[in-house]
A and B are shown apart, each in its own frame.
Chain A
Amino acid sequence: MHEHDVLVVGAGGAGLRAAIAAHEEGADVAIVTKLHPVRSHTGAAEGGINAALRDGDSWQDHAYDTMKGSDYLGDAPAIETLCQDSPEETIQLEHWGMPFSREDDGRVSQRPFGGLSFPRTTYAGAETGHHLLHTLYQQVVKRGIQVYDEWYVSRLAVTEDPDPEKRECHGIVAFDVQTGEVAGFRARKGVVLATGGPGQVFDHTTNAVSCTGDGPAMAYRAGVPMEDMEFIQFHPTTLPSTGVLISEGVRGEGGILYNDIGERFMFEHGYASNDGELASRDVVARAELTEVNEGRGVDDEYVHLDMRHLGEERIIDRLENILHLAGDFEGVDGLVEPMPVKPGQHYAMGGIETDENGETLVSGLYAVGECACVSVHGSNRLGGNALPELIVFGARAGRHAAGTDLGEAIIETGRTEDTEIGEVDTPVAPGAIHAGDTDEDAVADGGDPRGEGAGVIPEPNEVVERALEAENRRIDHLMEKDEGVQQAELRAKLQKTMTQNVNVFRTEAGLKQALRDIREVREQYQDVYVDDPSRTFNTDLQQTIEMRNLIDTAEAITLGALARDEFRGAHWRQEYQERRDEKWLKHTLLSWNDGTPELWYKPVILEGEDKTYEPKVRSY
């Protein structure tokens, strides 16, 4: 068994920042990641890092913009922490050598971004994420932090207790992709999940193939609630054929959106009469699809993003990467013609419920970055707010996991006196196929399904050993079967229904259909098998386990979307065209509840340090 103080699962921006922070606090920290760190999807982030660095700007303004962008579903303590810590964390990256774009006076450049009242998006060309990722990995190398790369974490080692709030996380189980060896990892102080987004539940996504919602799904099954999963951001500018992202930076620098008849529709059709192309992402994505649906789309599929008027020099200086992406993946030269763009799945605002120290309700288990929900983004994330979230909350969780006192969190995880039980009318039962019985599927990861030794609290090492045994059983089971259905078929089916029914525009009928389809996929998954008999680099096995995580994540997204009968931020419901503050100023939480998912709500926290944020009509 491997043993460390702090284990960080995932090596994107949040995971690397957490590992560095824990290491700086003197902890023995190791990173376990299914990729090599530099392959992580943070590298694909383009736009920049919002940070109030300059005269005329303030963290308060950044917080106000973020709260407004969230459509008043972000929690003020989380938002204010983000905005207060971002400047120092951003400059920390600069001190670690990150190659930011520069002004004439040698200071780091900032640019305007959608939904911001000040140009505070700090950037490094149109490849800010790549530089952030590499800069952080360089610091990991410098410190000699141990990295278990290409080790796939497939189970958490959590104690079994009927009450999830009394459970403890003592480690993880992972397999070495290269050799197939399955091993237990004991964490003496904490496990930090930093596994990224769940974009692979959709088929038109900017997310990498490895973004499969592993962290949220594992934590969920171990008893940690998923929060606000219905809020999925569809980025307005992705390339139609592949989903490759075209940065908001293009619009930030002055890029213009046109429909098929050459109208600058953001203004001319009144979608955002003040901010136009730089309205919040949800607003622009809906505008584009409305143009297409009303017959003004190019080829009835997309709209045009034109940056030619910016001139070659400025484009090469600030957006060069966009020229490569449009050329390589769409065959379009952005210097001589407009680029085709349409909305694509981009980001999950929801995730594992945490407080502002990254802690979940299971003791010793943390979550940061896109897999977590603090909640900073509420119902819609502003461009340029994902990267600061990684470094701000990554650092905090790393420090806290290492044992540093950060003061008590204001956000409470788990159920409190304000908790409200939710109900939703589903066409089929969600959750485990055999909920309630002793089927392994239904118990918290790492628990003992037979209830042996009930009442005795096992030693931490034993918890990891049991989880290891359970994982070995699962893997043996998947490998031994030699017929049934394969994960690729199920994945395609799941992605198709999610993209058709849980997209930008959502209807009750569509969401119910999605739940039926997800249920069918879940039932078929019982017959899934791994065809590749080899233990060496068995990506078939890995993808089959990922598929289980996609099912749980997709179901959580859809359940939340069906329950929330209002229109807020990225969540649009055909039947409910109003934001309903009297009913819905609250977060959606979903607990696995040993296989019978339970929906509940907790109020949004609008009280900040010095003021209370009053919900206003969100217009741009």
Chain B
Amino acid sequence: MSTHATQEQEGAEVDAGDSKPHSPHQDRRLQEKATREEQSQRESDERTREREETVEIKVFRYDPEVAEKQEPRFDTFHVPFEKGMTVLDAVMYARDHYDSSLTFRHSCRQAICGSDAFFINGRQRLGCQTQIAELDTPVRIEPLPHQEVVKDLVVDMDSFYEQMEAVEPYFQTNDLPEGDLDEQRQSRENREKIKMGTRCIWCASCMSSCNIAAGDDQYLGPAPISMAYRFAMDEREGEDIQDHRLRIIEQEHGVWRCQTQFSCTNVCPKDIPLTEHIQELKREAVKKNLKFW
């Protein structure tokens, strides 16, 4: 999967009978390059012959509509291994070459859209961010635990989105500057403080890893609370809004449910210190003398 512009352009130059004479220096380089290309092609062929390496992946399958998939099962695929291959590359290969019904969400391939959180070898990870070479084989790929499976690796995200939206995840202030071109000021320190909280990509890995969330479906959960943290700590919102936000997260199914097991922090693909955010909100709530459960 790379451009072939190099060879293409070379071919093009030859076709045109070459418009510009090469310097001896350039000729030598082109010569060297041709030799190198030959050699690297030879080496690559040898490698392919020697290795013929494949990686074995076991993928969870389920489809409520298809008779043979109504009972969940694992399918095994052998995918040709390439250096740098990710788990997402492997399932895409399996889908495109072996079974087009193999179903999973994915989009950006660069850990920013948050679509492809799977349970890979027993841990929540993004498929695109996980190198096959770093995993024990066969690689076991399952949908995120604690969420209803829609089909294969696709889980129902609705309850996650509802929890995210339950914390009023939008900026609020009573004190905007007058002019349309006047920005609110924010210190670098304050921006730094909320930075990690703003990195959330809504992948739901944390929610899936959290035992408390598994047992209490009303628990706001790590990502929503961290989202609340990102706003509650944003100095641009002002104190009255902060009070309002703390009331939302200190409710019965809010921050006090967290038992600081750090599983959310451990699995977060963006390294957000979720547990710390939750702890800090607990401290803020205590400082404000809000009742706690």
Q: Tell me the A residues contacting B by CB distance below 8 Å.
A: 35-36, 38-41, 43-44, 53, 87-88, 91-92, 94-97, 99-108, 125, 127, 130-131, 134-135, 138-139, 141-142, 178, 203-204, 208-210, 240-245, 289, 292-297, 299-301, 324-325, 328-331, 342-344, 486-488, 492, 499-501, 503-505, 507, 509-510, 530-540, 574-575
Partner of B5, one of A289, A486, A492, A538: A289
- Contact between B150 and A537 (Cβ–Cβ < 8 Å)? yes
Q: Is the CB of A507 within 8 A of B32?
A: no
Q: Can you show 16 pairs from A to B with CB atoms below 8 A apart? A: A38-B202, A39-B114, A41-B107, A43-B201, A53-B181, A102-B191, A107-B185, A125-B195, A139-B170, A141-B165, A293-B13, A329-B84, A499-B3, A500-B4, A534-B65, A537-B151
- With both beta carbons as reference points, the residue of chain B lying nearest to A97 in the complex is identified as B171
Contact B113 A44 (CB under 8 A): yes
Residue of A nearest to B5 (CB): A503
The interface residues of chain A lying within 8 Å CB-to-CB of B231 are 97
C-alpha spacing A94/B107, complex, angstroms: 28
| Residue from the set B4, B107, B115 with the largest chain A CB neighbour count within 10 Å | B107
Closest to A532 in B: B101
- Which B residues lie within 8 Å of A328 (CB)? 111, 129
Contact yes or no, A142 B170, CB < 8 A: yes
Q: A104-B188, A504-B5, A539-B103 are in contact. Are A300 and B113 (CB under 8 A)?
A: no
Write the B170-197 contact mask toward A (1 if CB under 8 angstroms, else 0): 1101001100111111111001001100
Kindly report which residue of chain A lies nearest to residue B65, judged by CB atoms: A534
Q: Are B180 and A99 in contact (CB under 8 A)?
A: no
CB proximity of B168 to chain A, nearest CB, Å = 8
Task: Say if the beta carbon of B37 comes within 8 Å of chain A.
Answer: yes
A36-B161, A92-B180 provided; 8 other pairs, C-beta below 8 A?
Answer: A103-B188, A138-B170, A209-B108, A500-B4, A503-B3, A507-B15, A534-B66, A537-B103
Inter-chain contacts of B71 with A (CB < 8 A): none
A507 in contact with B12 (CB, 8 Å)? yes
- CB of A70 to closest CB in B, whole Å: 23
Q: Is the CB of A99 within 8 A of B6?
A: no
With a cutoff of 8 Å between Cβ atoms, the chain B residues found around residue A38 in the complex are 113-114, 201-202
B182 and A91 contact, CB distance less than 8 A: yes
Is B288 an interface residue, CB under 8 A from the partner?
no
With the chains together, A329 CA to B1 CA distance in Å?
Answer: 14
Minimal Cβ-Cβ distance residue in B for A504: B5
Q: A102-B188, A203-B1 are in contact. Are A294 and B26 (CB under 8 A)?
A: yes
* B225 on the A face (CB < 8 A): no
| Interface membership of B97, Cβ < 8 A | yes
Q: How far is the CA of A509 from the CA of B11 in the complex (A)?
A: 11
CB–CB B65/A535 < 8 A: yes
Which of B1, B5, B107 is in CB contact (< 8 Å) with A208? B107
The reply to whether A533 and B66 form a contact with Cβ atoms under 8 Å apart is: yes
Say yes or no: B183 contacts A108, CB within 8 Å. Answer: yes
Give, as a whole number of angstroms, the nearest-CB distance from B234 to chain A.
7
Specify which chain B residues have a CB less than 8 angstroms from the CB of A492 in the assembled complex: 96
State whether B113 touches A536 (Cβ < 8 A). Answer: no
- The listed residue (A505, A509, A534) touching B9 by CB distance below 8 A is A505
| A289 CA to B103 CA, complexed, in Å | 37
| B151: chain A residues within 8 A (beta carbon) | 534, 536-537
Q: Determine which of B15, B64, B181, B187 lies in contact with A106 in the assembled complex, contact meaning CB atoms within 8 Å.
A: B187
Q: A141-B170, A294-B26 are in contact. Are A300 and B37 (CB under 8 A)?
A: yes
- A150 CB to closest chain B CB (Å) equals 9
Instruction: Please name the 9 residue pairs, one residue from A and one from B, whose CB atoms are nearest each other, closest first.
Output: A97-B171, A106-B185, A295-B29, A532-B101, A138-B170, A488-B96, A295-B33, A142-B170, A39-B113
- Contacts A300-B6, A488-B97, A534-B66: A209 and B187 contacting too (C-beta < 8 A)? no
Our pick among A105, A135, A500, A510 for the contact of B171 (Cβ within 8 Å) is A135
Cα–Cα, bound, A38→B223 (Å): 14
| B5 with A43: CB separation less than 8 A | no
Q: How far is the CA of A480 from the CA of B237 in the complex (A)?
A: 56
State whether A509 touches B2 (Cβ < 8 A): no
Contact between chains at A209 and B109 (CB < 8 Å)? yes
Considering the chains assembled together, what is the distance between the CA atoms of A204 and B110 in angstroms?
14
**Quick check: A295 and B32 within 8 Å, CB to CB?**
yes
B157 contacts chain A at the CB level, 8 A cutoff: yes
Choose among B66, B83, B176, B191 the residue with the greatest number of A CB atoms under 10 Å from its CB: B191
Q: Across the interface, do A296 and B112 meet the contact criterion of CB distance under 8 Å?
A: no
Chain B nearest CB from A265 CB (Å) reads 13
**Minimum CB distance partner of A180 in chain B:** B65
A337 to B202, CA, bound (A): 32
Interface size class of B (residues with CB under 8 A): 35 or more
B247 within 8 A of A: no
B159–chain A nearest beta-carbon distance, Å? 13
Question: Complex Cα distance A507/B83, Å?
Answer: 33
CB contacts (< 8 Å) of A575 on chain B: these are: 16
Partner of A241, one of B84, B154, B181: B84
With A38-B114, A532-B101: A537-B95 Cβ-Cβ less than 8 Å? no
Query: A575 to nearest B CB, angstroms?
Result: 8
- Residue of B108, B177, B187 contacting most chain A CB atoms (<10 Å): B108
The minimal Cβ–Cβ distance linking A580 to chain B, given in whole angstroms, is: 18
Known: A141-B169, A510-B12, A534-B65. A36 touches B157 (CB 8 A): yes
User: In the complex the two chains form, what is the Cα distance from A100 to B234 in whole Å?
Assistant: 12
Q: A200: shortest Cβ distance to chain B, in Å? A: 11
Q: Nearest chain B CB to A16's CB is how many angstroms away?
A: 12
Query: How far, in angstroms, from A106 to B234 measured CA to CA in the complex?
Result: 13
Among B3, B111, B195, contact of A99 (Cβ-Cβ < 8 Å): B195
- Give chain A nearest CB distance to B270 CB in angstroms: 8
Chain A residues contacting B8 (CB-CB under 8 Å) are 500-501, 503, 505, 510
A267 to B154, CA, bound (A): 50
- Rounded to whole Å, the gap between the CB of B28 and the closest CB of chain A is 8
The complex places the Cα of A270 from the Cα of B168 at a distance, in Å, of 54
Is B10 located at the chain interface by the 8 A CB criterion?
yes
Q: How far is the CA of A178 from the CA of B149 in the complex (A)?
A: 11
Which residue of B10, B100, B151 has the most chain A CB atoms within 10 A of its CB atom?
Answer: B100
Residue of A nearest to B110 (CB): A244
* Interface: B30 (CB within 8 A): yes
Contact A242 B84 (CB under 8 A): yes
Please, which residues of chain A bring their CB within 8 A of the CB of B65?
533-536
| Min CB gap B269→A, angstroms | 9
Judge whether A342 and B3 touch: CB under 8 Å: yes
- Chain A neighbourhood of B5, CB < 8 A: 289, 343, 499, 503-505
Q: Give the chain B neighbours of A208 by CB distance below 8 A.
A: 107-109, 113
Are the CB atoms of B1 and A295 closer together than 8 Å? no
Q: Which listed residue, A91, A242, A297, A534, touches B63 by the CB 8 Å rule?
A: A534
Q: Bound complex: CA of A329 vs CA of B36, how far in Å?
A: 26
Inside 8 A of A300's CB, which chain B residues have their CB? Answer: 6, 33, 36-37, 40
Report if B198 contacts A (CB, 8 A).
yes
Report if B123 contacts A (CB, 8 A).
no
Which residues of chain A have C-beta atoms less than 8 A from B194's C-beta?
99
When C-beta atoms are compared, the residue in chain B nearest to A544 turns out to be B100
Rounded to whole angstroms, the CA-CA distance of A95 and B170 in the bound complex is 11
1/0 contact string of B82-118 vs chain A (CB within 8 Å): 0110000000000111011101111111111111000
* Chain B 110-153 interface 0/1 with A at a Cβ cutoff of 8 Å (1 = within): 11111100000000000001000000000000000000001110
B244 to chain A, nearest CB (A): 14
* Contact across chains for B110 and A329 when beta carbons are under 8 A apart: yes
Asked if B199 is at the interface of the complex by the 8 Å CB criterion, the answer is yes
- The distance in angstroms between the C-alpha atoms of A473 and B161, with both chains bound, is 34
Cβ–Cβ contact B63 & A536, under 8 A? yes
**Complex Cα–Cα for A243 and B170 (A):** 33
Point out the residues of chain A lying under 8 angstroms from B33, CB to CB.
295, 300
Cα–Cα, bound, A290→B64 (Å): 54
Residues in B whose Cβ lies below 8 Å from that of A242 = 1, 84, 109-110
**Residue among A40, A108, A324, A536 with most chain B CB within 10 A:** A536
Contact A102 B186, beta carbon cutoff 8 Å: yes
Q: What's the Cα separation between A245 and B253 when bound, in Å?
A: 40
Contact call B110/A91, Cβ cutoff below 8 A:
no
Question: Nearest Cβ in chain B — how far from A259, in angstroms?
Answer: 11
Chain B contacts for A507, CB-based, 8 A: 12, 15-16
